[in-house]
Amino acid sequence: MLKILLGFLPWILFGFLAGPPLTRLEMALAVSLLAGLALGFKDLRRGFFLTWGTLLFFSFSLILVAFLKNLWIVEHMDLLARGTLAAIAWGSIIAGRPFALQYARESVPETYWRTPAFIHTGYFISMVWGILFLIALGASLFRPYLDLKAVWLYHLLATGTMFLGIIFTQWYVHRVRRARQTSES
């Protein structure tokens, strides 16, 4: 669980640090890129989807924002970030390498890796994350149409989905482990 949380830490940092003015956004991109590299160095060599997607997103975004001053990217950063997270989750599923399964292998003995229950759990958790990222993307799409009284709804949906995903993953993994222990007894 800690490993997947560390995988999302660059995105969480970005969410807290990014904002106006432009220098703050540039700083958030640089910090998130450095955090992704520092925390995911080993995962990059192992081909983790989340780590590679994080590295690519923050690298290209930093170049486009800090060096090329692309204002379209700046204006749409929220949509691009949430769309990238959704693409990482669904792309890993489509590629047959669900990102949650990649992290689960870090804490589960290799004897379980090919069991149907383990594989199903990895796919299911990755799909839940994918749905949560699509909800956050939807919130970002509708944000411009919300009045000031409804902006709290955007923040709840856009930022709450990350924490909901972490809580869900923890709960579901605990539930699966408890069921496995019960069936082995």
Q: What is the mean pLDDT of residues 80-96?
A: 97
In tens, the pLDDT along 131-173 reads 999 999 998 888 877 777 777 787 787 778 888 998 998 899 8
Out of 59-68, 71-80, 88-97, 156-165, least confident range: 156-165
**The two three-digit tokens of residue 69, written as one number:** 């001053």
pLDDT of residue 185: 67
Which helix (H) or strand (E) covers residue 140, if one does?
Answer: helix 116-142
pLDDT of residue 101: 93
User: Could you tell me if residue 37 is left (phi over 0), alpha (psi between -120 and 50 degrees) or otherwise beta?
Assistant: alpha
Distance CA 154, CA 78 (A): 11
First to last CA, the chain: 25
Count of domains in the chain?
A: 1
Q: Which amino acid is at 92?
A: S
pLDDT of residue 176: 83
Q: What is the mean pLDDT of residues 91-118?
A: 91
Distance CA 155, CA 128 (A): 19
State the residue range of the domain holding 159.
2-184
pLDDT of residue 80: 97
